[in-house]
Amino acid sequence: MSDLTDVLAVLDLKETGEGRFEAGSLDEGMGTVVFGGQLLAQSLIAATRTIPDKQALSMHMVFARGATAAEPLEIAVDTMQAGRAFGSVTVTTSQGGKVCTRALVLLHAPDDDLIRHGDAAPDVPAADGLPGRDGGSPWWEIRYADGADFADPDAVGPPELRVWTRFPGAPDDVTLSQALLAYASDGFLIGTAMRPHPGKGQSLAHVSISTTVLTQTLSFHEPFSAADWLLLDQRSSYAGRGRTQGSGTVFTADGRLVASFSQVNMVRDFPAGQAPKPGERAAR
């Protein structure tokens, strides 16, 4: 299993040319499959490395095919526009000449307020008073604010999940904090969609249920530190036809709305003959 040093290392992309980078992958205990949150984080870093005078405002990624941790990732950034206030790029991650993901990233130089409002944070217990997740890692802390267990197929509840998350020791850097939040935001909405359905849970993903993230969108509203507790307030608005839709808002411990995200996922039975053998996990 990785630690924070490993995480920061895979986000420290190796520049191989103008707008071109190479990156490694984390050992997530998922066989050779690369976690989608890592691909989001690396694409965001590549975008800001290409237009370094601006911060990421939003990104939308399509996950076309899975990536393997056994081979390096090739990341190509192509600039669409770079102006005084805004910049936009496409970021393509490939392996072996095949596209794995492509993201459209909008960057900006923030302006002064003309108007301001933001959603209020939900009333949930503070993170420090909640138990840590069983099997969690010291470099990525997760605590469930509503006591939900989205992994347990027998724990039925509404399609909602409120999770506190932080990366202790993460550098105080706007871009790295955004990248780490992008990483964290990838992992919960499939399980959130399964919560109302008896016999379904996140622990069955890649085992008896075929799941994957298809697209993800993130918007960053305010600066924050990924080293501090962040509340991911998440809900799934739809599940059907082998797909799910989910969204989340992100708040600091003092109630500031700092980011939003949404996700479209695949959740279906394995095609005939493709289910993993007992005790194994599917690659994707």
Tokens of 152: 């347990």
d(CA 69, CA 42): 14
Q: Are residues 270 and 131 in the same domain?
A: yes
pLDDT band at 279 (very low <50, low <70, confident <90, very high): very low
> In this structure, are residues 52 and 15 in contact, taking their beta carbons and an 8 Å threshold?
no
Task: Answer with the one of 110, 143, 158 that is the final residue of a domain.
Answer: 110
- Please say if the pLDDT value at position 277 is more than 70: no
Q: Are residues 19 and 101 in the same domain?
A: yes
Which pLDDT value is given to residue 270?
80
Identity at 252, one-letter amino acid code = T
Which pLDDT value is given to residue 150?
73
Residue 284 lies in a domain: no
| Total-model pTM | 0.93
pLDDT digits (tens, 9 = 90+) for 162-193: 999 999 999 999 999 999 999 999 999 999 99
Q: Are residues 207 and 81 in the same domain?
A: no
Residue 121 lies in a domain: no
Task: Answer with the one of 62, 84, 110 that is the final residue of a domain.
Answer: 110
**Residue 245 neighbours by CB under 8 Å, 6+ apart:** 236, 237, 238, 239, 262, 263, 264, 265
Mean local confidence (pLDDT), 214-222: 99
Identity at 7, one-letter amino acid code = V
d(CA 222, CA 26): 28
Q: For residue 79, how far is the Cα from the chain centroid?
A: 23
Q: Are residues 45 and 15 in the same domain?
A: yes
The range of the structural domain enclosing residue 260 comes to 127-278
Q: Are residues 54 and 79 in the same domain?
A: yes
Compute CA distances 81 → 1, 49, 88, 272, whole Å. 39, 15, 5, 46
pLDDT digits (tens, 9 = 90+) for 196-208: 998 887 777 777 7
Mean local confidence (pLDDT), 74-99: 98
* Domain count for the chain: 2
Identity at 76, one-letter amino acid code = A
